[in-house]
Structures are given as structure tokens and as C-alpha cells.
Structure 1
Amino acid sequence: MSRYFIYLSFDGTAYHGWQIQPNGISVQQVLQERLSTLLRGTIEVLGAGRTDAGVHAHLMVAHFDYDGELDGAQLAYKLNRMMPRDIAIHDVRKVADDLHARFSAVKRTYRYYIHTHRNPFHRFYSLEMPYQLDFEAMNEAARLLLDVKDFGSFCKAGADVKTTLCDLTKAEWIKMEEPGCWYFEISANRFLRNMVRAVVGTLVEVGRGRMTLDEFRAVVASGSRKNAGESMPAHALFLWDIVY
């Protein structure tokens, strides 16, 4: 039995997230079905992590096991011919048998995009923010997160997680070349459910002047989701990179 990694990207607009759901189609389901058809057997695909409904992936990594040798380039080509246009397979590689798409990942990076002016070409992949935002204050608050270990304040209420500890290595608002366009980049060893969108929502409260830095610190220290800002819409969030 050999293990293979699949490197892919997808537009999550039409999907109920990555993970198979009982009430809607998911990216994992589509990939498993096409792969099983191609390899003429039941293939189970395991991803690097779940993404919520409507969230996109610039890079997702998944693995599957197969009893035999495969030509990765040829398999990627055939998969792309069968895939809907909102999913792209970039590569299929044979890896060590003990390498796991989820548990072997050491860093994941997300990006959340916003624009501060009305633009019809950004509406599907970036959030329009009509408010005046203080990005300097937002970055000051974001830097505070690098010293935080427990992110319970940003975890979806009722989420089934054993620990809310995460090791952040980056949290920064970055200005793009196009005027009024920014993205928030955050990297960590792991993320909690809904965490990035809750962090962004709370930082926006700081940027709007509705939360001071001391209040932001208090929110983080409270460990309670109800004290943090609202969860921002999914369509502007991208799983950007995964490192092994």
C-alpha cells in the first residue's frame, strides 16, 4: 500500500466546506467520488483540515492510500478532466507511508481579504468594508496575538475540540498595491473552528475605534467567544498555504 498527496485549490462558493456533510455537497466528497471512479475502487481522501462552507483554498493538501504504483502527473491530468471548474488539481505525489496530510502539517496560513471601496470585481472574494479603519491600530492588536497561546475567545461555541491552544507565528494586515485593498495573514500550527473569521471580526472592532487595545487584551484573556467580535463572512477567507 502506497500513500499519495494531492495538492489542489478550490473556490468554495458552491460547497458546504471541505469535509463531507450529510446536508450538502463538499469538496472532499467530489474528490473522493472522482478518484474512486478513476481508480476503480473505493478511495478515502483525508485533508489537511476542514474549511467552513463558502471558504476557499489557494492550497489544500489531501492524502489517500492505494495498492499499486501511480503516475502522479497522469492522474492529476485525468482528475482535472473530471473535476468541476471550481476545483483544480495541481499535483499528485507519492510520499512516505507515515506522512499524514493533517497531522504531519507544521504550519498553516490563512488570508482574509477586504476592500474599502465599492468594487464589483472583488465582491466574491473580498469583503467590502464601508467603515474608516485604523490599520495601524489593527496591526498593533494583531501583534498582541503572537504572545497568546489559548484562543478560546475565538473558537466557535460548542465546537468539539480537546484544546484551544495554538502556536501563532504571524498575524498581520498587509496593504496591497490596489488602493483600499488589504488582507490579513495569519499563520499557526493549527486553527480552531471559525477562529480566523472571529479574529478578523474582533480586529475590525479595534480598527473602527469601537474597542481599545486594553479591551482587546481583556477579550483574549477572557477565553469566552461571546466577548469577541462577530464572525466575518466566509467568502473572503482563503486557506493559503500548508507546510510539512
Structure 2
Amino acid sequence: MTETKRYFLELSYKGTPFHGWQIQGNAYSVQECLENALSTYLRQKINVVGSGRTDTGVHASMQVCHFDLVDAVPSENFLKGINSILPKEIAIHSIKEVKATAHARFHAVRRSYVYRIIFRKNPFLDQLAWHCFYKPDVEKMNLAAEALLRHEDFECFSKIHTDVPHFRCQIMSAYWEQKDGELLFHITANRFLRGMVRAIVGTLVEVGTGLRAVEDMDNLILSRNRALAGKAVPAKGLFLSKIEYRKEINLD
């Protein structure tokens, strides 16, 4: 009789060389790379399910995925072994067995992103932050970000022609932080739409540079019109930073 166990992996990756998280027929993805490495190391076909997708060039300081393992358990040297197979842009940090019904995507209750902006050329951050040539008004951008907490439908920030049943998201926090010469945007929600964070950042930067009034944010969101929102900022500054789950997914 076969026995199947489910495991959660916590990993991080630099998204620069990948065409996003999800497997695609003609492009190199994080998911494909991870599945190939796991299948090689564990000597059985492994399919992984991520907590969510990241677009081309987007990074993850924390991503979570699950996979099933049949009639086997990872060895105590699993992390060392799998990381030696994976490319330098991907690192697995932990593995834990969870309930057979636990799902990396559907059981995630909160997801957080960080967007990084720098204001002077930095060769060490060239692929990890957006170099902005003007300093926006952070106070105005934080005032505008408060509007995100008053609404639930964010179609105006979603990529068009996306296949989702609805555009409702519950945003728990959204704010800007100045830290060590960088400007960081933090946002946490139960779910995100495709391109949503980059469009929000682009819109808020327009507020900070005087191209858009703070008071316009509510009407923009209520319009549900992507054409009225700001231009999406570059993918290289965006990081998936945290995934949170209920304790019920853990083994007793």
C-alpha cells in the first residue's frame, strides 16, 4: 500500500532570469526549475503548487509551495542536497510535513509585497530596485495609500484580460517607509491581482510627484478603469516578502 505525504517548502529566488513563477511552454520559469531539481533529487516525478504567481522579473524573499512525496521521506541532508542542484538564483530554506489537505495557495490567509526604490545609481542593486530620478513627496503618497484600505474592488489596478472570477481584495496595510537611502512600499492583503502592486506603486508615485492629487485615489478606485491608473513600475523592484497560514495546516 502506497503512502503519500505532503510537504511545504519555504524558498526565495531572484526573478531576473525567469519568466515568472508559473510553468510556460516556451519560457524558463521558477516552477519548472524547482520541479526538475526535486524530481532529480527525490527520484520521482514531483509537481509543486505555489502560494501564488510572480510575474517575469519579480523576486521573492519568501515564497511557499507544496508537493506530495510517495513512499519516501526527505533525508536529513535534503536542504544541502537540493540546494546544490538548484541554480544560484533559487534557495530552499525549510521543509516541513503538513496535513494531506494543506494547500499552499488556498490556505494562505495573507500575502505581503515590498517594492524598492533607490535614488542614485547603485551597481549592486541594479536588478533589485527601481532607480528613480526624482524624489516624490512620501507624506502625500502615504495619505493616498490610505484609500486602499477603504475599498475592496481593485479592477483599476489589474492587468486587463485576466482570468479571475472577481477583483475583490482585502488590503490590511499599505504604507511607504524611508530606510537606508531607499524608499520601500509595504502592502499586505488576502490576495492580489495580476500586476496590481506595480500599478499601485506607479499611481502613488504620480501622487508624490504632483501629477495626481491625493483626493483622486477614491474616485480612481471606484472607476474600476485601468486606463485611469498610473503606469506600472519596473518588475525588478518588486519582492514577494511574506506568506502567512493558519495553524490548522500543521500536523497535530
- Given candidates 87, 92, 95, the residue that maps to 1:89 is 92
Query: Which stretch of structure 1 is more off in the superposition, 34-43 or 152-161?
Result: 34-43
Q: Identity across aligned pairs (percent)? A: 45
Letter in 2 for 1:183: L
Which of 53, 56, 59 is the aligned partner of 1:56? 59
Q: Which residue of 2 aligns with 1:156?
A: 159
Task: Verify the 8 A CA contact 1:72 1:94 in the aligned structure 2.
Answer: no
Equivalents in 1 of 2:128, 2:238: separation in Å? 8
* RMSD value, Cα: 1.1
Cα deviation, residue 216, structure 1:
2.1
What is the match of residue 233 of structure 2? 232
Tell me the SS of whatever aligns to 2:202.
Answer: helix
Report how far residue 72 of structure 1 moved.
5.9
Structure 2 partner of 1:9: 12
Corresponding residue of 1:217 = 218
Tell me if structure 2 keeps the 8 A contact 1:72–1:93: no
1:72–1:92 Cα contact (<8 Å) kept:
no
Q: Give the 3 Å change call, closer, same or farther, for CA 83–133 of structure 1 in structure 2.
A: same
The answer as to whether partners of 1:73 and 1:92 remain within 8 angstroms in 2 is: no
1:132 deviates by 3.0
Cα distance in 2 between the residues matched to 1:71 and 1:22: 29
Change (3 A) 1:43 1:15: same
- Flag the 1:203–1:38 CA change in 2: closer, same or farther, 3 A: same
Q: CA deviation at 1:213?
A: 1.6
Using the size of structure 1 for normalisation, the TM-score is 0.96
Q: Aligned-pair distance for 1:123?
A: 1.7
Q: Is the Cα–Cα contact under 8 Å of residues 7 and 60 in structure 1 kept in the other structure?
A: yes
Determine the structure 1 residue equivalent to 2:205: 204
Letter of the structure 2 residue corresponding to residue 99 of structure 1: A
Q: 2:23: which partner in 1?
A: 20
Q: CA 1:96–1:136 in 2, change beyond 3 Å: closer, same or farther?
A: same
Corresponding residue SS for 2:168 = coil
Gaps of 5+ in 1: none
One-letter code aligned to 1:140: L
Compared CA separation, residues 107 and 73, structure 1 to 2 (3 A): farther
Aligned length: 242
Match of 1:185 in 2: 186
Q: TM-score, normalised by structure 2?
A: 0.93
Q: Which amino acid aligns with 2:43?
A: R
Rounded to whole Å, the distance in 1 between the matches of 2:69 and 2:44 is 10
